[in-house]
Amino acid sequence: MAPGLVLTYFDIKGKAEYVRLALAVGGVPFEDRRLARGEWAGLKPQTRWRYLPELTVTEPGKAPVTFGQSNAQLRYVGRLAGLYPADEPLQAALVDEMLDALEDVRTPVADSVREEDPERKAEKRQKLAAETLPHWFGLLEGHAQANGANGHLVGAGLTVADLSLYQVFTWLRMGILDGVPATICDGYPALETVCAAVAGLEKVQAFERGVAERQAEAKRLAAAAEAAA
Amino acid sequence: MAPGLVLTYFDIKGKAEYVRLALAVGGVPFEDRRLARGEWAGLKPQTRWRYLPELTVTEPGKAPVTFGQSNAQLRYVGRLAGLYPADEPLQAALVDEMLDALEDVRTPVADSVREEDPERKAEKRQKLAAETLPHWFGLLEGHAQANGANGHLVGAGLTVADLSLYQVFTWLRMGILDGVPATICDGYPALETVCAAVAGLEKVQAFERGVAERQAEAKRLAAAAEAAA
């Protein structure tokens, strides 16, 4: 029997998105728990690392187990979804390598988001746009080319590494980082092919539609509640 | 037949150390390739991510495969060494969680090492010592206590997560980070028990002796060459 899964995160894409996508692509049932406004403050002290996402796994007949760290979650659900080659140690290592390289992309971006000093923030964004992101994307593009520019970062089929790349690209293309143009991901054809392959999956599109509908409904209910108050 | 393994890194502990330790503890033969002075500049452009360590795996009858990212390497060699519960997905996820949490410890430390501006460096070190490291170590201590303070971060036996903690603690205790006292790791009894368990392993001690002897021999040879010149 499959384990029960609850993924807890904010009602944004962020660091939970590739975990949600892996579950959606694999058709693995899970509770997509998105915190309501104001819920975080009360929950934070109970979390394992004082941040989200957290995944709670309940195996039949056992006590629930909760763990943090989105890549640990991604690897775990990747097995359930058939998107992680756990039975091939060397292939698994190559997927792991990509997941960690993609964290090397995210880490300086997140650091710039947290920076509060406006001058330093601008400096960090400038470096990201001119240097750091092109450096990483160039290396990733080379590896995707070496893998045959086949729409996957590793091997011949979809893995969680592809979902992780898709998440970074999709997020950066929203253009919400001052100082980093939304075009920063352009010009890497083999990476583009990976993202297009993910975006084209029927289950990814259905998942995105589901989220959009849910958010529209929440907005409608909030407006109705406000009007009634 | 076991794969051939070459681990390439500088002749320091650093990010390769937990990989070397896992191999040593598991009694897995490998070539511990430590770059000679001046070798890095020529090698760098050929590396996958422009940094080290890199692990080259040669499976019988196949072309060698090289990959970077020390945690991907650690997980791969952890399987060979019997220090990673690959066949128990949930236990593997808990080990992965610890590995990534320990990277959350290392990331701001590495950022402070790279900082070139003296004032900002001091500021970062101050924050590390007063806030960031105690925060993470406190959370890790809580999880080690919840695991029974049994000398392991996850489960009842030695895993690569314990080696990763040992590496961080051993390194910080060298006291080489200006502004971060060597005592920063003190006061966490359950974490201390993990480190003591690793340090007490006969194979770890033999490995450390081997490295010390090799370094003394290299020093002796260099001095002899200089005297002869």
The pLDDT, as a whole number, for residue B211 is 81
Burial of A79 (0-12, 13-18, 19+ CB in 10 A): buried
Rounded CA-CA distance A87/A93 in Å is 11
A67-99 pLDDT, tens per residue?
999 999 999 999 999 999 999 999 999 999 999
What is the three-class DSSP state of A67?
strand
> Which chain B positions have a beta carbon within 8 Å of A75's beta carbon?
92-93, 96
Do residue A73 and residue B93 have CB atoms under 8 angstroms apart? yes
Mutation site, B28, B100, B154, interface A, largest A CB count within 10 A: B100
- Using 50, 70 and 90 to split pLDDT, how confident is the model at A222? confident
ipTM of the complex: 0.94
> Which chain B positions have a beta carbon within 8 Å of A76's beta carbon?
89-90, 92-93, 96
Of A34-43, A124-133, A179-188, B207-216, the range with the lowest mean pLDDT is B207-216
Among B141, B6, B161, B41, smallest CA distance to B91 is for B161
Domain with CATH 1.20.1050.10 in chain B: 89-199
Do residue B67 and residue A139 have CB atoms under 8 angstroms apart? no
Rounded CA-CA distance A52/A90 in Å is 30
User: Does pLDDT of A1 surpass 80?
Assistant: no
Which CATH fold topology does A4-83 show? Answer: Glutaredoxin (3.40.30)
The residue of chain A nearest to residue B57, with distances taken between CA atoms, is: A90
Mutation site, A100, A104, A153, A164, interface B, largest B CB count within 10 A: A100
> Which chain A positions have a beta carbon within 8 Å of B111's beta carbon?
111
Rounded CA-CA distance A27/A21 in Å is 10
The pLDDT, as a whole number, for residue A212 is 85
List, run by run, the mean pLDDT of 10-residue segments along chain B (229 residues): 93 93 96 92 97 97 97 98 97 98 95 94 97 98 98 98 96 94 97 97 93 86 86
Rounded CA-CA distance B25/A93 in Å is 20
The pLDDT, as a whole number, for residue A40 is 96
A141-192 pLDDT, tens per residue?
999 999 999 999 999 999 999 999 999 999 999 999 999 999 999 999 999 9
CATH 1.20.1050.10, domain A89-199, yes or no: yes
Rounded CA-CA distance A221/B68 in Å is 49
Domain with CATH 3.40.30.10 in chain A: 4-83
The Cα of B86 is separated from the nearest Cα of chain A by a number of Å equal to: 8
Rounded CA-CA distance A28/A88 in Å is 22
Do residue B97 and residue A59 have CB atoms under 8 angstroms apart? no
C-alpha distances (whole Å) from A203 to each of A22, A158, B74 are 10, 13, 33
- Whether the upstream peptide bond of residue A108 has omega within 30° of 0, thus cis, is no
Rounded CA-CA distance A96/B22 in Å is 17
Hey, is the C-beta of A49 within 8 angstroms of any chain B C-beta? Answer: yes
